[in-house]
Amino acid sequence: MNKLTWNLWRMIVLLGVSLIFCRSCIDKDLTMTIESIDLELQHVGLDSATFIGTVTTNTPTIIDNVGICFISEDDFDPFNDNLPTIYDNDYYRAGEGAGSFTVVISDLKPGKLYHVRGYAHNQRNVIYGEVIPFIAGNPIFTPPCNPKANTVTFNFVERKFGNEVREVNGIDHTIIGSDSPVEMEIRFSDPPKSGIYKIAHRVASLNARTCKIWISLLTDDFYGEEGADVYVERFGLDKYSVTFCEIRFSSRTSSHVEVTSGNLTID
């Protein structure tokens, strides 16, 4: 064997050893590397349900399979540790690696109670998140009104924001609809999740379940009534609809009050 051939074989062996070593560094026990598996119920249809999950790790690791598994009320028994698993129950694979994922469960029976939880898998083991119950065909909530998407009626005029709806990430997470001379802002502390939010006092700090709504005209600003309900339906990553119904808006500079409903949708 000449010197060139020997050096070539040595490089191949060293490269192989390096690859094996590098994989062993990240192919770790998931219990030591996964911080959390969060799962959020986004939408419930007649025979389907949509979930958004997030897998968070504290060190690099190989995750070859993430998704959700679920079980019906007929088989669920938490006292006997009969929880949904990917080995014994139905499951949906959503991809691999850490980060966010979306799963839609279909072919459910309306009115039946289901229990679902997220999971992450590698060659060593499987880690599960908390169990979430839901009833197929039973929506998370139903707003008491149904305004057109991306509209608000103000001063007896319906404003259609159309494509002039955008998100701004700063100190707050803000959704803005514009139709000159009217602009409407809905502010959250973070990207909103499905659920019912309360309007906070206009000078108060926002938290995980409060928001603020401003409607601005050329000559005045109006703020939504503190404590009023705002309905958020999230139907995908960075996709959601925000609806409010018959809320009082008070002028910042006068005694003028408007009562109106509206919607902003990001899709």
Where along the chain do its domains lie? 30-135, 151-266
Residue 85 CA to residue 117 CA, distance in Å, equals 8
Local confidence band at 35 (pLDDT 50, 70, 90 cut-offs): confident
Instruction: Write the DSSP string, the chain.
Output: --HHHHHHHHHHHHHHHHHHHHHHHHS--HHHHEEEEEEEEEEE-SS-EEEEEEEEESS-----EEEEEEEETTT-BGGGTB---TTTSEEEEEESSSEEEEEEE-SPPTT-EEEEEEEEE-SS-EEE---EEEETT--S---S--PPTTEEEETTEEEE-TT-EEEEESSSEEEEEEETTEEEEEEESSS--SEEEEEPPTTSPP-TTEEEEEEE-SS-EEEEPTT-EEEEEEEETTEEEEEEEEEEEEESSSS-EEEEEEEEEE-
Maximum mean pLDDT: which of 96-100, 123-127, 216-220, 246-250: 246-250
Nearest 10 degrees: CA dihedral of 100, 86, 135, 240?
Answer: 10
Number of C-beta neighbours around residue 132 at 10 A:
17
| More confident: 177 or 240 | 177
Answer whether residue 28 shows pLDDT above 80: no
**Cβ neighbours of residue 31 under 8 Å, at least 6 residues apart?**
125, 127
| More confident: 36 or 151 | 151
Q: What is the pLDDT of residue 195?
A: 80
Whole-number average pLDDT of the chain? 84
Local confidence band at 29 (pLDDT 50, 70, 90 cut-offs): low
Residue 122 CA to residue 134 CA, distance in Å, equals 28
pTM over 0.75: no
Angle, alpha carbons 223-162-216 (nearest 5°): 20
| pLDDT tens-digit readout, 136-186 | 887 777 899 999 999 998 888 899 998 788 888 888 899 999 988 899 999
Local confidence band at 24 (pLDDT 50, 70, 90 cut-offs): very low
Mean pLDDT of 83-99: 89
Q: What is the pLDDT of residue 59?
A: 77
Answer whether residue 49 shows pLDDT above 70: yes
Maximum mean pLDDT: which of 78-87, 151-160, 230-239: 151-160
Task: Indicate the CATH number for domain 30-135.
Answer: 2.60.40.10
**Alpha carbon 23 to its chain's center:** 32
Mean pLDDT of 106-127: 88
